[in-house]
Amino acid sequence: MTTLRTGPEAVYDVLGIGFGPSNLALSIAIEEHNNTSGDVITAGFLERQPQFGWHRGMLLDDATMQVSFPKDLVTMRNPASDFSFLCYLRERGRLVDFLNQKTLFPLRAEFHDYFEWAAARMRHLVEYSAEVLQIEPVRAEGGEIRWFDVTSRDPDDPGRTVVRRARNICVAVGLEPHLPPGTVLSDRVCHTSELIPRVAEMAGAPVRRALVLGAGQSAAEAVDYLHRVFADAEVCAVFAKYGYTPADDTPFANRIFDPEAVDVYYTSPPEVKQSLLEYHRSTNYSVVDSELIESLYATMYREQVHGRKRLRMMNVSRIRDVREQDGRLAVTVEYLPTGEHEVLDADLLVHATGYRSQDIGALLGETAKLCLRDDEDAIRVDRDHRVKVAPQVTAGIYLQGGTEHSHGLTSTLLSTTAIRAGEIRDSLLAQRSLTAN
């Protein structure tokens, strides 16, 4: 059902492309502003999924968030907002019970439910099943590019398209699964983003061996999950490291996710930015929570004691070849120190190989040519998350995500989502004032 306005007279101040946590937070920031100000921002959001969803394939029953709950959609920006996680808990009748746990880290499934709760309250601003197909610049009489025409699929008739005009767009299309070159997905080969539905499809079928490629948090969680779900199967963890690396979640290291750290990173020269990324990779990339590492090691040792080894760590190794025949996999694993190859007969191979930012240029199409780029061919972005564009362009392009090169590690994380939403909202208002003057 179409919920957003269309037609030549319906010019939006901002159209959001994608409706994950980042643009959800922006919609709330705009809504709260509109409810208290006469200077209204007209906004709409287009989402290709049929409903709100955030990493559904990894909503494991016991997995917890890796960021504390105050880093929700609003609290860091507006602690008094009724869109906070605590207000969600109060409405669900679990506030006291949650507090009794004495934890800052909710279940991932619970935080997803919180997102859905907030998204439902913003339903009037979003259109689902509305994949964006094209974004075209629109010129005013003097040649100035003042608007963008955004073409999306009609949810009521996917064969038709709908065009909406906006003075600004905010692109927040999230991450896409990263897979090793040459990977062929199938019923037996998947990415962790599809872990839960893929395991559900295999329910009742005999599973004798499953492999997980990767050494990060999602890899370790997948190993633990498969070991529990397939109680008779051998589960092999394959990674190039010697062992899992613990995540550095100590207070000083975590300051790299502070809002002030974005300012420091943004104003630093390129060599300092690179150093900061390298110094603090252990806070986010290819690392695992210490508790999970200890749990997996305890499981492996316990199995050694009882003489039934189902959990196997294939460290300093990589997968060289995958062949599928007659509903089974033949996976060749190379032990890197010696070059020795071992061929494993397997029922499932899970790639826990992370995510990467989607190609913004492909989405923007011709509009991408208006974006200025740096010496490394990365899109240049102002501190307020607005893309630097050619002089004749007054319409705005904002990015939520894909800006690690300019804004640091928090670009694709939840840590500063609320703050960033407020910054973009304030920038929209400031740009409107500049245009009016």
Q: pLDDT digit string (tens) for 362-404? A: 889 989 999 999 999 999 999 999 999 999 999 999 999 999 9
Query: What is the spatial distance between Cα 12 and Cα 6, in angstroms, rounded to a whole number?
Result: 10
Give dist(CA 213, CA 238) in Å, integer: 5
Q: Residue 352 and residue 372: Cα distance in Å, rounded?
A: 34
Cα–Cα distance for residue pair 246/231, rounded to 1 Å: 26
- Among 3.40.50.300, 3.20.20.140, 3.40.50.1000, 3.50.50.60, name the CATH number for the domain at 11-174+358-436: 3.50.50.60
318-359 pLDDT, tens digit per residue, is 999 999 988 899 999 999 999 999 999 999 999 999 999 888
Q: Could you tell me the maximum CA-CA distance found in the chain, to the nearest angstrom?
A: 80
Each domain of the chain, given as residue ranges in start order, spans: 11-174+358-436, 177-246+285-355, 251-283
pLDDT, position 3: 64
Long-range contacts, 260-267 (Cβ 8 Å, 24+) = 261/408, 261/410, 262/407, 262/408, 262/410, 262/416, 263/383, 265/407, 265/408, 266/383, 266/406, 266/407, 266/408
How far is CA 348 from its chain centroid? 25
The answer to whether the CB of 41 falls within 8 A of the CB of 13 is yes
- Structure confidence at residue 383 (pLDDT): 97
| The two structure tokens encoding residue 405 | 């090169």
Give yes or no for a contact between 240 and 317, defined as CB atoms under 8 angstroms apart.
yes
What is the model's pLDDT at position 435?
Answer: 75
Backbone phi and psi for residue 54, each to the nearest 5 degrees, phi listed first: -140, 105
Establish whether domains 11-174+358-436 and 177-246+285-355 are of one fold.
Answer: yes
Q: 84, 74 in Cβ contact below 8 A? A: yes
Among the four given CATH numbers 3.40.50.300, 2.30.110.20, 1.10.3720.10, 3.50.50.60, the one describing domain 177-246+285-355: 3.50.50.60
Separation of alpha carbons 208 and 222, rounded Å:
16
Helix or strand holding residue 322 (H, E): strand 317-325
Handedness of CA 366, 372, 378, 380 (dihedral sign): negative
Strands 43-46 and 14-17 come out as: parallel
Judge whether 217 and 288 are in contact, CB under 8 Å.
Answer: yes
Dist CA 33 CA 51 (whole Å): 25
Backbone angles phi, psi at 41, to 5 degrees: -100, 120
Q: For the chain, which residues score pLDDT lower than 70?
A: 1-3, 6-9, 436-437
